[in-house]
A and B are shown apart, each in its own frame.
Chain A
């Protein structure tokens, strides 16, 4: 797809520049496509892949509607139905919704922000392959009839190995975690890219609103996924190795899983909604012919929404027996989360009211969004009210609400976005005679299917039943829902045909067909692999050249970096707030490494699935080795000093500045990891206060000497890392310091392993021992990763990638070891405090 690039319109300089840049940036033909790292290529692949999973998930949804169309349906038995509805939910959420919004982010963000690519192209590719492989594992399990069948929410103890002994639940835990790794890595890269890689002059207050939405969403993902990843790891450990965390008979708690799951699950709804709201905030001003109203109000609203969405997870748990006063926090929170959404709605309405709106296809879908999402939001407020939820919880009323919210938030803006941005990709426009009826079929079919379910639920139909008797008064409602689902499917089918027709036969349109003001239209259609032949500068005032004119000037190389240098894939890094260029970022070339790494990661997952634990460990080690290998090629082999970037300005390459992308990326990693650690610590306290069978008859104990040893070793490693940094920046040798740190870490790991062995009660016996082992295991794992940092440092010092001016590597190691030491002290402190904590439980009435 990258080879078919439109000829730049202007004469010799533009054409010459185009040829030079394509040679550097293009993905090769044939098999070399597998080595692609370009965001346009990967973004497009993600769109298509997630749409394929949408189709599969949609078919599964249709199957459930066939089964439920009539009472006592015998189309499927309960076992099959359970797999089908579990996979419908899991696919739609994990394989369609999240990747779809991410694919929008991947494809569009660099273009809208005026940069050439993302900060870590190889990570983009790795994320994509992980997603594809994880999705494939889940799909294959469905064909093999061993698909997950405990619901997409996987409530324990139903999903534990006692009640789901087969491989089904493991497929979910491993497959979904695999896909989440991809989501998480993309989220980190999005945060770094939005903060550091924008067009010069694009200060935060002038960033297109889409950038704010994507930035906030990516930050939410960094914090939302770790609790679920932790939950999945703990549940998999319980299933595979018998350590109890959720087993109520051995001091675990069934509800701990629900807390971890919904701590992810609720923000996830907003993770899906926000990027789409960003697309709406981009499209609505274009169709209103005026700038967006209330830019600052919207930024405040999305920050508020991001936080509030984390504080309302318990509204999925109103019926589990939590005291009413505690429910009240979450009830009030769930109600007021509607306020930031209302602010956005009325900002959009005001934009339309103060502009000169025109109708076009995207506006039709935007109307669909307003209709569907308003209804879903209103039922959401109803469900926030505790007593009503006691009746409506886990009935078809929730199914209706959830589809109105998720489909309203995702499907309608997604279709609007497709029709809005496809001309950028194809240079053509849709066939209206097909597209308009398709919309009405989707819209009517959707409302017929899901509106009925409100009433079905109020009449008492529970979710997740594979059949019903027919005397409950539900049959006509279910039949209508099933008919509606077929109408909707026909509509989606027509929309797909329309899009395919558009690719081949659509009417050609001029550049910037919608008169948009964002930068993605200031480039050739379809976009070239380098995106911008030269990087635009935003002028000081509000006024800005129309993207159409700007495109010509950029193609002639009149912006920044309008040249090819050293065969480097160059783009600009800017100061986070002011948007002034502060570094040249040299991006890596296409490589098979992401694919190979993802394949080994997948092999580790599969080996785990087939209970070949040693093989899995080996594959995981190879994966880690490949990551270290990937690190070997990063950066530049010597000092360059400031490099000219055009317009008389010079900035150093990213290897020689403090705020380089890897530094920010590590901060993101630590935020994610810190969330996981915090979840583990809170999980321990939760079990202490809430789990049955505490206190155990067995007094917990761990060797104090070993614990102290671990802490001392970690502190030595952290100090040695500081020493290596100081030595290198002074021009001295750092290998001695690094060697000391390696020895200290090895000692820490050995002591930690010994400590796990000394824990009583035995981790198999009681959750007390299991959580202690998990906490110590966390420390050992992080010390192990610290070793990798140090090994990479040694190799890269040897290869000449580290110099007094290029210190990023050593700073990364120092930060990692500091983090490991701090979390280590907390974790081991908690382990040592467990006996005292358990003793206090005796004071309970």
Chain B
């Protein structure tokens, strides 16, 4: 988390939709994964290119190593050493981000249709907001994502990865925002001419302020037909 934040600050990677500027445990875990993989990829890339240039520009440079050794070391040993730990790390990290049972956080329904997001809060008297999602800070929330027409995708890059809104099924995404504030979300699956403008806003309130803020937002939604 700290590392990820530091890296984001260093590279100027902040932005309202930046995955490298995380503000929740899920996005932070993935950002860390990215920086680790970037470092590894950088080393490998340099290695392959250096080898290529050396063998071409310095004939005879690599000929002491038998050719079968080249293939076994580079083609089998090298990938094995890197890929196996990476796969394990990726799968375990992925599992920790899942909406695991046993711990049942508040639920919010996110319903997509061309090109509007409607959010319903069953735990809060089933009020609804349009294109604005209210979340309490510092606590996980499960978003039940579905669609009324074509496929969309629910994505708040600074908080978590995305999940598709598929008609006829409900997908679940566990999301948590660490600090109160305003975040941006967007549809991330091509859904027709309005796709580019299918944004929504995520307002994260302090837990104490959350009920009031949500009620106020729901009231304005009702005012708009």
Contacts and interface: CB of A to CB of B under 8 A. Distances in A.
Tell me, yes or no, whether A and B come into direct contact in the complex with CB atoms closer than 8 A. Answer: yes
Interface of A: 78-79, 82, 150-151, 155, 157-158, 162-163, 248-249, 253-255, 293-294, 297, 301, 319-321, 324, 327-328, 331-332, 335-336, 338-339, 342-347, 349-357, 359, 363, 367, 370-371, 374-375, 378-379, 381-382, 384-395, 455, 458-468, 471-474, 691-693
Contacts of B167: 157, 248-249, 254
B79 A460 contact: no
B110 interface: no
Given A248-B167, A343-B76, A346-B75, A388 B90 contact: yes
A463 B80 CA distance: 33
B30 A387 contact: yes
Residue from A328, A375, A385 whose CB has the most chain B CB atoms within 10 Å: A385
A335 B161 contact: no
Contact of B196 (A150, A163, A389, A465): A465
B1 interface: no
Nearest to A321: B171
Contacts of A248: 166-169
A342 B98 contact: no
B186 A331 contact: no
A351 B75 CA distance: 14
Contacts of B55: 349, 352-353, 357
B111 to A, nearest CB: 14
Contacts of B62: 349-350, 352-354
Nearest to B154: A319
Nearest to B161: A390
Contacts of A297: 71, 75
Contacts of B37: 381-382, 385, 388
B78 interface: yes
A354 B162 contact: no
Contacts of B91: 324, 328, 331-332, 386
Contacts of A342: 74-76, 78-79
Contacts of A254: 151, 166-168
B141 interface: no
Interface stretch (B9-17, B128-136, B202-210): B9-17
Given A158-B190, A324-B98, A349-B52, A691 B168 contact: yes
B162 A78 contact: no
Interface residues of B, number: 80
A251 to B, nearest CB: 9
A320 B164 CA distance: 5
A764 to B, nearest CB: 18
A78 B194 contact: yes
B59 interface: yes
15 contacts: A82-B193, A248-B166, A293-B70, A320-B164, A324-B91, A332-B91, A339-B75, A388-B37, A390-B160, A390-B162, A394-B188, A459-B15, A472-B16, A472-B17, A473-B18
Contacts of B193: 78-79, 82
B56 A388 contact: no
Nearest to A386: B94
Contacts of B108: none
A629 to B, nearest CB: 45
Contact of B70 (A353, A387, A389, A391): A353
A338 B78 CA distance: 11
Interface in B170-207: 171-172, 186-196
A408 to B, nearest CB: 12
B97 interface: yes
3 nearest A-B pairs in the assembled complex, by CB-CB distance? A390-B161, A460-B17, A353-B62
B95 interface: yes
Contacts of A466: 196
A735 B63 CA distance: 69
A155 B152 CA distance: 11
A319 B151 contact: no
A255 B165 CA distance: 11
Contacts of B20: 458-459
A387 B52 contact: no
B153 interface: yes
Given A342-B79, A379-B41, A391-B30, A462 B166 contact: no
Nearest to A375: B45
Contact of B162 (A151, A336, A338, A394): A394
A350 B56 contact: no
Nearest to B152: A158
Contacts of B151: 155, 157-158, 254
B140 interface: no
A254 B157 CA distance: 25
Given A464-B190, A472-B15, A693-B168, A353 B90 contact: no
Interface in B33-75: 33-34, 37, 41, 44-45, 48-49, 51-52, 55-56, 59-63, 65, 67-68, 70-71, 73-75
B83 A336 contact: yes
Contacts of A357: 55-56, 59
B219 interface: no
B141 to A, nearest CB: 17
B87 interface: yes
A96 to B, nearest CB: 22
A359 B52 CA distance: 13
B155 to A, nearest CB: 8
A150 to B, nearest CB: 8
Contacts of B29: 387
Contacts of B51: 349
Contact of B74 (A345, A382, A391): A345
Contacts of A371: 49
Nearest to B160: A390
Nearest to B51: A349
B73 to A, nearest CB: 8
Nearest to A251: B168
A370 B150 contact: no
B163 interface: yes
Given A346-B75, A353-B62, A459-B17, A385 B33 contact: yes
Given A462-B186, A471-B16, A692 B161 contact: no
A335 B83 contact: yes
Contact of A459 (B18, B27, B33): B18
